[in-house]
Chain A
Amino acid sequence: QQQVKQSPQSLIVQKGGISIINCAYENTAFDYFPWYQQFPGKGPALLIAIRPDVSEKKEGRFTISFNKSAKQFSLHIMDSQPGDSATYFCAASIEGGATNKLIFGTGTLLAVQP
């Protein structure tokens, strides 16, 4: 129940294309869903996050779509650029409690070809 399942494991997209990464969760108590971006040799860094009171959040070329009934959320990268090539992790946590433990998906290695 604590797992977050992420797919695909890797993704190759042409420059200018749309990258889509999907995640699913089981624990309905989760109420915070961030995406982290990791470049080689670096630690993950927060990219964008959503809470279940909205179905979509957009920041620049990055959009999270959230489907509460299906317990799924996805990251869309519009007009993908070579600089977006990185590993992307979805995550989930329960906010407002005594802890803020983040459970991560297994990651998606994105390669954007020029």
Chain B
Amino acid sequence: DAGVIQSPRHEVTEMGQEVTLRCKPISGHNSLFWYRQTMMRGLELLIYFNNNVPIDDSGMPEDRFSAKMPNASFSTLKIQPSEPRDSAVYFCASSFVRAPTTEAFFGQGTRLTVV
């Protein structure tokens, strides 16, 4: 398996523009997570899905952020409109909900710069 695949790897956009980040989880995994990484706050959980259903979006910072998972092999995180403070590395991770392990597999991230 190629692992979790994120695109694009880098995104530079102007303030006010819409940004869409994409994620393909590992085949067979039934949980998907979106994290945001910054120097100040570390890895923040934004939202996660189980079996394509959003379970907890309490980490989504504002209504400008939205996430979808239309099927088991694809998810998007959208920011509209984007602001400079949204600049960060966004990670998607997937896992399989099954004891005894909860290992999350991360993609390589999307570095977002909003100017």
Chain A residues bordering chain B, tally (CB within 8 A): 24
Segment of B62-70, B73-81, B104-112 engaged in the interface with chain A: B104-112
**A34-57 with Cβ < 8 A to chain B:** 34, 41-46, 49
Query: What number of A-B contacts does a CB cutoff of 8 Å give?
Result: 65
Residues of A near B50 (CB, < 8 A) are: 98-99
Q: Mark B24-65, 1 if CB is under 8 A from A, else 0.
A: 000000010101000001111100101000011000000000
> Which chain B positions have C-beta within 8 A of A32?
102
**Nearest Cβ in chain B — how far from A111, in angstroms?**
15
Question: What is the number of residues of chain B that contact chain A, defined by CB distance less than 8 Å?
Answer: 28
Tell me if B95 is interfacial: C-beta within 8 Å of chain A.
yes
A46–B99 CB distance below 8 A: no
B23 to chain A, nearest CB (A): 11
A49: chain B residues at CB < 8 Å are: 101, 103
The 8 Å CB contact of B95, one of A45, A89, A100, is A100
A102/B102 in contact, CB under 8 A: yes
Q: Which residues of B contact A106 (CB under 8 A)?
A: 41-43
Q: Report A80-104 CB contacts with B as 1/0, cut-off 8 Å.
A: 0000000001000101101111111
Partner-B contacts on A (CB < 8 A)? 6, 32, 34, 41-46, 49, 89, 93, 95-96, 98-107
